[in-house]
A and B are shown apart, each in its own frame.
Chain A
Amino acid sequence: MPVYEEIILKNMKLPGYKGEISDYKRQGGYRALSKVLKELTPDQVIEIVKQSGLRGRGGAGFPTGLKWSFIPKDPQVPKYLCCNADESEPGTFKDRQLIERDPHQMIEGLIISSYAIGAHVAYIYTRGEFFHGAVVLEKALAEARDCGCIGKNILGSGYDLEVFVHRGAGAYICGEETALLESIEGKRGMPRFKPPFPATHGLYGKPTVVNNVETLANVPHIILRGAEWYASIGTPKSAGTRIFSVSGHVKRPGNYEVPMGISLRELIYEHAGGILGDRRLKAVIPGGASAAFFTPDHLDVKLDFEEVAKAGSMLGSGGVTVMDETICMVWAAMNLLQFFHHESCGKCTPCREGSFWLHRVLKRIEEGQGQMEDLDLMVNLSNNIGGKTICAFGDAEIAPVLSTLKYFRGEYEDHIRQRRCTLRQLPALAGSPTSA
């Protein structure tokens, strides 16, 4: 199995590493912050991160340095940095590990990033379920404050920053950046229409950057080892490593940090150990539930932003869900549409009503009550959702439907002709579809 140097999962795997500030400092922690405050201007930090090629790990893959450069420079205007620790995309479980095992790494990244954009207040938005994660972060923030890395006049530089944890309360949509801002403002987590973008009108209407946990965790390493070093890892347009969270029917599920651009085959068969029970692979979702399904024909796709998109899906959150030959694709799509229906915030009609109907039609087909017209109906519904909603959730919810229809149409037709699922080994889905 190819072995690669880990960057952000490295510390936590050292024997005895508990993620306390002393552990982190022993591994060179907070040296990047000290270097930044002593030697670099905010603009220089932005330039280094731009040169490194770092792109957002939250889903969209937007170039991080470029995003920071959109923040107005006027020192009179308050600015905010929000760390997106909402991690709710089904199949993704990397941020939870980064938070619970090495909190100072992401906190150092957050302080440097706040300095770069001129923010004096930063919030870490964790999902409500991360009770323990929030406790770990609070403790780490207190340690950082005691060491002079947070608060007034950080490390004697004259730069001030306060950092607070803001814990959500159960809503997938609060991972969408403008919904996250609404949630911090104390409202229902419903996405805002864009433009204007958070860079100019964000939290409390002020310039704001939202960055994912993994994105921020990379920043101290880029500062210490240089933009060129980082850019040399991965592929030209997708620099660096990426943590893939592999789950489902593999022998060794888990978080794997590998250079961008390795093949899906290598990830599944080498790092994750291959398919459970050596059964046949049937389908893979490469980038969280919002990404289109792949089939075994896609195993040689290179895992970087461009190649995965070119192959018709997206790298998204890096959540890779593997399904073997025993899984019914109609059922899998129905499971995910139950998720999307449950989580739609309800602000726009195509998404709110569309997720309800897509789930209902899938359920009816899965239960053997479908008709051939239903297949066109689902395409029609999807075409009236995609691109017609306030946030990208609309495009996400149609991905499982359209991709399973494209690659596994025969399976849908079988359900309809035989009036039952010929594959299903799993009992019916828990919960009623209307329990949202």
Chain B
Amino acid sequence: MLSEKAQAEITEIVKRYPVRRSAILPALWIAQREFGYLSEEAMRAVANLLELNPTQVYEVVTFYTMYSLKPSGRYVLQVCRTLSCAICGAMEIISHLEKRLGIKEGETTPDRLFTLRYVECIAACGNAPAMQINQDYYENLTVQKVDQILNELATVGKSSLASGPFMCP
């Protein structure tokens, strides 16, 4: 079940639109924040709140790549593989990550700390190569920086290398 707080948040968001269904993306974000992923139960809860058929929720969830139908690791590494990053070293970053974590695209480490995903351009091309981890961006990546980021996340739960407000150059 969605928490009282989550339900209240969604009810508030519904008011922004003339149509309840419009609140589906924000509601799914809230549900995913609560459960870590979108279980059948979570999708049903969103459908109930928005007075929708569960399949109307499911068809939306499966269209957008940032919703997850299964549990992910605590940190989801989303490495950009599109052209500007690819020609500025993204492939080295990717092979390093695969080697260091011992996993491939879509997999999660056995300690459930890291999930590895490859994504398309994340609007950081001037600071290539780049990746997003959960909500934060990490840019101008090198193998050394990647090691530092992973070490910091594994030990203190956040990394000093996360990008601040974006400005390039």
Contacting pair B165 A129 (CB below 8 A): no
A238 at the interface (CB under 8 A from B): no
Contacting pair B63 A342 (CB below 8 A): no
Chain B residues, CB < 8 A from A168:
25, 64
Chain B residues, CB < 8 A from A100:
165-167
Contacting pair B169 A136 (CB below 8 A): no
Chain B residues, CB < 8 A from A332:
83, 87
**Of residues 73 to 94 in B, which have CB atoms within 8 Å of A's CB atoms?**
79, 81-84, 86-88, 90-92, 94
B37 at the interface (CB under 8 A from A): no
Contacting pair B126 A246 (CB below 8 A): yes
Chain A residues, CB < 8 A from B28:
169
Out of A89, A162, A170, A245, name the residue touching B126 (CB < 8 Å).
Answer: A245
> Bound state CA distance, A77 and B87, in angstroms?
50
> Bound state CA distance, A204 and B20, in angstroms?
12
A93 at the interface (CB under 8 A from B): yes
> Bound state CA distance, A97 and B60, in angstroms?
29
Q: How many residues on chain B are close to A (CB under 8 Å)?
A: 55
Closest CB pairs A-B (n = 7): A254-B169, A170-B66, A169-B64, A170-B65, A186-B21, A247-B125, A186-B24
Out of A19, A171, A327, A338, name the residue touching B65 (CB < 8 Å).
Answer: A171
Contacting pair B123 A129 (CB below 8 A): yes
Nearest CB in chain A: distance from B25 CB, A:
6
Contacting pair A93 B126 (CB below 8 A): yes
Contacting pair A169 B66 (CB below 8 A): yes
Q: Contact residue range for chain A? A: 35 or more
> Bound state CA distance, A17 and B89, in angstroms?
33
> Bound state CA distance, A130 and B126, in angstroms?
16
Contacting pair A101 B167 (CB below 8 A): yes
> Bound state CA distance, A88 and B82, in angstroms?
11
Contacting pair A245 B125 (CB below 8 A): yes
Also in contact, A255 and B126, with CB within 8 A (given A100-B165, A342-B120) = yes
> Bound state CA distance, A327 and B121, in angstroms?
19
Q: Who on chain A is nearest to B134 by CB?
A: A131
| 5 A-B pairs in the complex with CB atoms less than 8 angstroms apart | A96-B166, A128-B66, A189-B64, A335-B81, A338-B81
Q: Who on chain B is nearest to A435 by CB?
A: B105
Contacting pair A96 B123 (CB below 8 A): yes
> Bound state CA distance, A128 and B132, in angstroms?
12
**Of residues 325 to 362 in A, which have CB atoms within 8 Å of B's CB atoms?**
327, 332, 335-336, 338-339, 342-343, 345
Selecting from A33-41, A223-231, A425-433, the interface stretch reads A425-433
Contacting pair B120 A339 (CB below 8 A): yes
B135 at the interface (CB under 8 A from A): yes
B156 at the interface (CB under 8 A from A): no
Q: Which residues of B contact A (CB under 8 A)?
A: 16-19, 21-26, 28-29, 50, 59-60, 63-67, 79, 81-84, 86-88, 90-92, 94-95, 105-106, 118-128, 132, 135-137, 165-169
Q: A164-B16, A167-B25, A254-B169 are in contact. List 10 more A-B contacts (CB 8 A).
A: A100-B167, A169-B64, A204-B19, A248-B84, A253-B125, A253-B168, A336-B82, A338-B81, A342-B120, A343-B120
Q: Who on chain B is nearest to A427 by CB?
A: B91
A187 at the interface (CB under 8 A from B): yes
Contacting pair B94 A171 (CB below 8 A): no
A25 at the interface (CB under 8 A from B): no
Contacting pair A188 B63 (CB below 8 A): yes
> Bound state CA distance, A336 and B167, in angstroms?
26
> Bound state CA distance, A254 and B169, in angstroms?
5
Chain A residues, CB < 8 A from B67:
169-170
Nearest CB in chain B: distance from A19 CB, A:
7
Out of B94, B105, B126, name the residue touching A247 (CB < 8 Å).
Answer: B126
Nearest CB in chain A: distance from B21 CB, A:
4
Contacting pair B64 A171 (CB below 8 A): yes
Nearest CB in chain A: distance from B4 CB, A:
22
> Bound state CA distance, A327 and B128, in angstroms?
16
Out of A101, A131, A167, A335, name the residue touching B26 (CB < 8 Å).
Answer: A167
Q: Who on chain A is nearest to B128 by CB?
A: A247
**Of residues 416 to 431 in A, which have CB atoms within 8 Å of B's CB atoms?**
426-427, 429-431
> Bound state CA distance, A130 and B117, in angstroms?
17
Chain B residues, CB < 8 A from A101:
165-167
> Bound state CA distance, A435 and B59, in angstroms?
18
Nearest CB in chain A: distance from B74 CB, A:
17
A214 at the interface (CB under 8 A from B): no
Q: Who on chain B is nearest to A128 by CB?
A: B66
Q: Who on chain B is nearest to A342 by CB?
A: B120
Also in contact, A323 and B87, with CB within 8 A (given A164-B16, A167-B29, A171-B64) = yes
A5 at the interface (CB under 8 A from B): no
Contacting pair A129 B132 (CB below 8 A): yes
Out of A172, A186, A285, name the residue touching B120 (CB < 8 Å).
Answer: A172
Contacting pair A429 B86 (CB below 8 A): yes
Contacting pair A339 B125 (CB below 8 A): no
A108 at the interface (CB under 8 A from B): no
Contacting pair B84 A91 (CB below 8 A): yes
Chain B residues, CB < 8 A from A73:
none
Chain A residues, CB < 8 A from B91:
426-427, 429-430
Q: A16-32 vs B: 1/0 string, CB under 8 Å?
A: 00010000000000000
Contacting pair B168 A255 (CB below 8 A): yes
A145 at the interface (CB under 8 A from B): no
Interface centre among B16, B26, B65, B123 (most CB of A within 10 A): B123
Nearest CB in chain A: distance from B37 CB, A:
13
Q: A112-146 vs B: 1/0 string, CB under 8 Å?
A: 00000000000000011111100010000000000
